[in-house]
Amino acid sequence: MKCLVTGGAGYVGSHVVISLLDAGHDVVVLDDLSTGHRAAIPDGVRFWHVDLGNAQATHDAVTQDNWDVVFHFAALSSVGHSITEPFHYLRHNIMNSLNLIEACTSHQVKRFVFSSTAALFSDERDLSRITDDALVNPASPYGDSKFFIERALLWADRIYGMRTACLRYFNAAGADPQGRLGEDHRPETHLIPLAIDTALGLQPALKIFGNSYDTRDGTCIRDYIHVTDLADAHIHVIDQLDTRSVAYNLGNGRGVTNLEVIESVERVSGRRIPWEWAPPRPGDTAILVADSSRIRMETGWQAKHQHIDSIVATALNWRKRHPHGYDGHKNRPVVADATS
């Protein structure tokens, strides 16, 4: 299939690009490189440097070819930053996505896969088993920006017949098991890469935000899903889009506390992690764990990396080889069937 991937130089996007290439698809990456890395795009893959905030440039890019499916990852993605810069987050994510969606509908794109988020949810009575039809009530501007885009995609389906898959990721973590790609956010705000950097001595003591949540050890519980499993789910949903639009929650279904993440990184790395308590981070929800039974039943998708240690091991492996992230990457990832 001919695939356009926005945000294909970013963390999740680049792992999806590699999975698509490994599965024999033809990929073009569109990215403004504001947070993504040129070095994350495999050699030989076409790359278009486009700002989705520019409606004309977005339209011109989308109309260059007839895509079987468009994948949309490009977005600002930190819950914490969205609380300090709410309007910047809302404007950027919503306007850029509308430019892309409008270009896709006017060019009769038939399949669209959207990178959505568990940050849509905060209100379920049982946050340890969030189903696909749980009540949406974002606790942050970031979550709300994604919700707005999901709504826009509903209208793209109803009015233009563009079938859409909204994949609500829980906590993406880990790195390509073959070591071709990893996680490199600047600044890094996510728990697992920060814990790994602390273990490796690349950053000072880790701060753990909040110790009096209503959980088994007082720290937040998250559902970590390996980024390659997440990428695999994107390929599994494509067939669904022949007939209808779908929205799926994507996680492992296992809750891990922040302190258990520290224990896992210590176990896997064999090093102690210096850490200290810090106040709760605004916008954080105590528990977010997915019930992903629907995507499993309807598409046959299955997470391969079920244990937190196996997720941490792949992230640690990449970081050890790339302590400066993509700055240290001399060579781009090599993929057997990369098209040019």
Kindly state the tokens that stand for 178. Answer: 């073959």
Q: Which of 52, 79, 153, 196 binds ligand UDP (CB under 6 A)?
A: 79
> What gap in Å lies between CA 251 and CA 149, rounded to an integer?
21
Question: How many CA atoms are closer than 13 Å to the CA of 287, on its beta-carbon side?
Answer: 21
Kindly state the tokens that stand for 332. Answer: 């781009």
Does position 258 bind ligand UDP by CB under 6 A?
A: yes
Task: Specify the DSSP class assigned to residue 261.
Answer: H
- From residue 190 to residue 229, the character string flagging contacts with ligand UDP as x (rule: CB under 6 A) and all else as - is xx--x-----------xxxx----------x-x-------
Q: Which of 54, 131, 178, 189 binds ligand UDP (CB under 6 A)?
A: 189
* Residue 213 among the catalytic residues: no
Does position 275 bind ligand UDP by CB under 6 A?
A: no
Q: Least distance to ligand UDP from the beta carbon of 285, Å? A: 8
Whichever of 179 and 280 has its CB closer to ligand UDP, that residue is 280
At residue 191's C-alpha, the angle toward residues 188 and 196, to 5°, is 80
Q: Least distance to ligand UDP from the beta carbon of 324, Å? A: 20
Q: Least distance to ligand UDP from the beta carbon of 61, Å? A: 29
**In DSSP terms, which residues pair with 22 in a beta bridge?**
none
Whichever of 103 and 220 has its CB closer to ligand UDP, that residue is 220
Whichever of 190 and 329 has its CB closer to ligand UDP, that residue is 190
Q: Least distance to ligand UDP from the beta carbon of 245, Å? A: 25
Closest CA to 212 of 277, 158, 130: 277
* E-only strand ranges, 17-134: 26-31, 46-49, 69-72, 111-117
Closest CA to 291 of 255, 249, 324, 320: 249
Whichever of 166 and 220 has its CB closer to ligand UDP, that residue is 220
Per rule CB under 6 A, count of chain residues that contact ligand UDP: 15
DSSP secondary structure string for all residues of 150-204: HHHHHHHHHHH--EEEEEEE-EEE---TTSS-----SS---HHHHHHHHHTTSSS
Question: How many CA atoms are closer than 13 Å to the CA of 137, on its beta-carbon side?
Answer: 9
Place of tokens 């993605």: 77
Q: Are 76 and 34 in contact (CB under 8 A)?
A: no
Closest CA to 229 of 147, 151, 171, 155: 171
- From residue 36 to residue 75, the character string flagging contacts with ligand UDP as x (rule: CB under 6 A) and all else as - is ----------------------------------------
The one catalytic residue in 11, 89, 142, 326 is: 142
Choices 144-152, 156-164, 184-192, 295-303; region in contact with ligand UDP by CB under 6 A:
184-192
Whichever of 97 and 258 has its CB closer to ligand UDP, that residue is 258
Does position 230 bind ligand UDP by CB under 6 A?
A: no
Q: Are 106 and 43 in contact (CB under 8 A)?
A: no
Whichever of 207 and 272 has its CB closer to ligand UDP, that residue is 207
Does position 140 bind ligand UDP by CB under 6 A?
A: no
Does position 148 bind ligand UDP by CB under 6 A?
A: no
Question: How many CA atoms are closer than 13 Å to the CA of 189, on its beta-carbon side?
Answer: 12
Q: Which of 107, 281, 294, 307 binds ligand UDP (CB under 6 A)?
A: 281
Q: Least distance to ligand UDP from the beta carbon of 226, Å? A: 14
Task: Look up residue 319 and give its amino acid.
Answer: R
Residue positions annotated with a catalytic role = 142
Give the interface with ligand UDP as residue ranges (CB under 6 A): 79, 171, 189-191, 194, 206-209, 220, 222, 258, 281, 284
